[in-house]
């Protein structure tokens, strides 16, 4: 990318960090700032691996959840706040191409938003995956990092923390996983945290955008399989 480098990206990142902290304050369902920090770290690793713009990746990773409808009573107000924030960045040396790219990544990163158009094209080279529009590498990096945070030991912890916050059971053998879902029924309807592994988490490894993302996803996927086997054994009292 031929963007002019900001003299010093540190103030930009610090400002973004405090904007995000303020927007996400108080969430107990796994979208706390620690989630943002993990996504930031993994997104930067992936971005370095695929040659994505590191500053855009880092900014977009920080901002990726601020307009999430689950975290905002008014998603419209959240979008406006994000827009005002992005507009203020232009005066801080961040060129308009980068601002546009950050906006695009934040808008497209959510899993729920992608459900209706999911296909099995992950696994092909980094390019036009899982949607009608080509994904910029910065989106690939942030999206893979966000999905990776739903996998592995952290992913397990988040699934049960989320379930607890919604008052849903850990497991209910009488309630089968809902395997064919559109975005609407994914959000609504009764389920359990164990079902969530089958309904969403075990599908993620085949939807990664990047080679490194896929590699990490496979490890974390295997770890979750082992966990669930053990969970079922103990559930039966064995
Ligand atoms: P995203 O922000 O990528 O759309 P979500 O907001 O759906 O992801 O999920 C945030 C975290 O909560 C993830 O770790 C996810 O696995 C977990 N989670 C979401 N829905 C459920 C559910 N119904 N049961 C258990 N965990 C869930
Ligand atoms: Ni997230």
Q: How many CB atoms lie within 10 A of CB 16?
A: 24
Residue 112 has what DSSP assignment? G
Nearest to 218 by CA among 144, 166, 111: 144
Q: pLDDT tens digit string along 106-150?
A: 999 964 455 444 443 333 333 433 456 799 999 999 999 999 999
Angle, to 10 degrees, between the axis of helix 33-50 and the axis of helix 137-148?
130
| Residue 152 beta carbon below 6 angstroms from any ligand 1 atom | no
State the Cα–Cα distance between residues 195 and 83, nearest whole angstrom.
Answer: 36
**DSSP string for 160-198:** HHHHHHTT--S--TTS----S--HHHHHSS---HHHHHH
For residue 3, the model assigns a pLDDT of 57
Calculate the alpha carbon distances from 151 to 4, 34, 189, 214, 226 in Å. 36, 15, 22, 12, 13
φ, ψ of residue 85 in degrees (nearest 5):
-65, -45
Provide the token pair at 179: 């395997």
Provide the token pair at 54: 């590191």
In this prediction, the residues of the chain whose per-residue pLDDT falls under 70 are 1-5, 7, 26-31, 110-132, 181-188
Name the pTM for this structure.
Answer: 0.87
State the Cα–Cα distance between residues 107 and 119, nearest whole angstrom.
Answer: 20
Tokens 């949607």, residue?
Answer: 131
Whose CA is closest to atom 27 on ligand 1?
159
CB 136 within 8 A of CB 3: no
Nearest to 33 by CA among 41, 42, 24: 24
Q: Distance from the CA of 174 to the center of ligand 2, in angstroms?
A: 30
| Residue 21 beta carbon below 6 angstroms from any ligand 1 atom | no
| Residue 67 beta carbon below 6 angstroms from any ligand 1 atom | no
Q: Distance from the CA of 9 to the center of ligand 2, in angstroms?
A: 23
Q: Distance from the CA of 35 to the center of ligand 2, in angstroms?
A: 7
Nearest to 151 by CA among 54, 41, 227, 209: 227
For residue 125, the model assigns a pLDDT of 37
For residue 110, the model assigns a pLDDT of 66
């Amino acid at each position: 990318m031929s963007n002019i480098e900001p003299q010093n990206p540190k103030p930009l990142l610090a400002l973004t960090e405090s904007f995000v902290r303020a927007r996400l304050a108080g969430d107990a369902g796994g979208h706390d700032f620690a989630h943002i920090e993990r996504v930031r770290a993994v997104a930067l690793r992936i971005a370095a691996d695929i040659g994505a713009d590191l500053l855009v990746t880092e900014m977009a990773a920080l901002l990726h959840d601020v307009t999430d409808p689950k975290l905002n009573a008014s998603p419209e107000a959240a979008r406006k706040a994000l827009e005002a924030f992005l507009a203020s960045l232009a005066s801080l040396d961040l060129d308009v191409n980068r601002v546009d790219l950050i906006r695009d990544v934040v808008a497209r990163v959510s899993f729920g938003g992608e459900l209706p158009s999911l296909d099995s094209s992950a696994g092909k080279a980094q390019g036009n995956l899982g949607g009608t529009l080509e994904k910029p590498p910065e989106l690939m990096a942030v999206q893979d990092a966000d999905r990776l945070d739903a996998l592995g030991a952290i992913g397990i912890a988040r699934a049960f923390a989320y379930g607890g916050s919604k008052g849903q059971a850990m497991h209910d053998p009488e309630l089968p996983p809902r395997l064919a879902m559109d975005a609407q029924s994914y959000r609504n309807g009764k389920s359990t945290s164990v079902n969530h592994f089958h309904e969403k988490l075990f599908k993620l490894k085949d939807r990664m955008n990047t080679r490194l993302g896929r590699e990490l996803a496979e490890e974390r996927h295997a770890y979750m399989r082992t966990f669930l086997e053990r969970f079922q054994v103990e559930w039966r009292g064995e």
